[in-house]
Amino acid sequence: MQIYVFYIQYFKPKELKLNILKDYFCASTNFKMSFHSTLTSWYSVNKRNLPWRASKNPYKIWLSEIILQQTQVKQGQPYYESFVANYPNVQALAEASESDVLKLWQGLGYYSRARNLHFTAKHITENLDRVFPKNYKTLLELKGVGEYTASAIASICYEEPVAVVDGNVYRVLARYFGIDTPINSTEGIKQFKVLAKSLLPESNFGDYNQAVMEFGARQCKPKSPKCSDCVLISSCKAHATGTVNVLPVKLKKTKVTKKYFNFLVVVSKDKHTILEQRTEKGIWQQLYQFPLIETTTSVSKKEFLMQLDKSDKIKNAIQTVSLFNTSDIIHKLSHQELHIKFWVIKTPNSLENGTKWSEVHSVPVPVVIERFINNFQV
């Protein structure tokens, strides 16, 4: 009896018979050996040549895993290389200023990752004598390190028998075993953790975990998976039932909120501007921005000038006001859709505590503001 048949029969979404499943896997040594050897053989031939894979240094593995959260490899790799070049070890990262770390991170988004990265580097340097925790349980105590990241570090660096479960693993297991429990539900998270743990080999845990993740990233892709030359096709439940394109199942996302941002790009005669640091909690915390007026809808110039008159954002005399972008710039975040206008406000006066325009490029800002700065001519 193939393993997915047993799974569907006994591991039902509403009835987690974990002991039965565990017993079955223990009895299915031949299946497990075949599953592991198939994936690790595929991995040895098809794995990408990525810089962090040449190391078992926990600092480098931790750094790569944090950067690759919510980020594709092709986007994250240059950032990894920049961080390693600028901060070759955890002590060097700890000794950097938060502003410098945020600036190097600029463009990756989810800036709390960078803040946690810096905080954790300081913690390891100051409190752990620059030595990374050496097991899954103590790795979880680090700020910004969740179950997936702890599993990856523990298995790759220390060969601890812990299973990684990321988006790629969810997809491979959901399709191979034909599981339609939503992967982002409490029930689904528990279900897939148990399954992933039950599938662990007897050794080489790091290589096996990387093999499953790489298989999901390159072969069993979210869109246009390469089923025609898949090494698991003969026993893939989703392929047999025609459900490849509907698995894995996810619960609907939180409703996206629209916000309307009007940034005030003040330019003085001596080419200074005003930047403010965001101190309130949020994804842009500690980053810099131009003064902001938030409105309930996209506004015309007349409506904007009325809002400007009511605010105390600009204390200098105003010479001209012009709109830089003729249509709203749409910037999509996880649960927000920002509609952004950049209003260029010229003043004949000097700005108190103003920032030289030539220094704006050195300040950490959200990527949407960075793009504006790169395109704007003073």
Instruction: Name the active-site residue from 65, 81, 160, 214.
Output: 65
Separation of alpha carbons 204 and 244, rounded Å: 29
Q: Are residues 238 and 266 in the same domain?
A: no
Alpha-helix residue ranges (DSSP H) falling in 28-111: 29-46, 58-67, 73-86, 90-95, 98-105
Per-residue pLDDT at 301: 93
Q: What domain range is 103 assigned to? A: 3-246
Q: Which residue has the tokens 């290589």?
A: 207
Q: Are residues 271 and 238 in the same domain?
A: no
Separation of alpha carbons 281 and 208, rounded Å: 38
Per-residue pLDDT at 19: 47
- Whether residue 310 lies inside any domain: the answer is yes
Strand partners, 294: 261
Find the radius of gyration of the CA atoms of the chain.
25
Per-residue pLDDT at 15: 44
10 Å Cβ neighbour count for 104? 19
Q: Are residues 266 and 171 in the same domain?
A: no
Q: Are residues 312 and 235 in the same domain?
A: no
Residue finishing a domain among 246, 267, 291: 246
- Whether residue 156 lies inside any domain: the answer is yes
Amino acid occupying residue 355 = T
- β-pairing, 355-356 vs 276-277, is unpaired
Q: Are residues 275 and 362 in the same domain?
A: yes
Per-residue pLDDT at 33: 77
Per-residue pLDDT at 29: 63
Residue finishing a domain among 212, 246, 280: 246
276 is annotated as an active-site residue: no
Task: Identify the segments of the chain with pLDDT beneath 50.
Answer: 1-27
Q: Are residues 349 and 226 in the same domain?
A: no
Residue finishing a domain among 246, 272, 299: 246
Phi, psi of 111 (to 5 degrees): -65, -15
Over residues 120-142, the pLDDT tens digits come to 999 999 999 999 999 999 999 99
Provide the number of structural domains found in the chain.
2
Per-residue pLDDT at 318: 84
- β-pairing, 336-347 vs 257-268, is parallel
- Whether residue 340 lies inside any domain: the answer is yes
Percent with pLDDT over 70 in the chain: 92
Amino acid occupying residue 282 = G
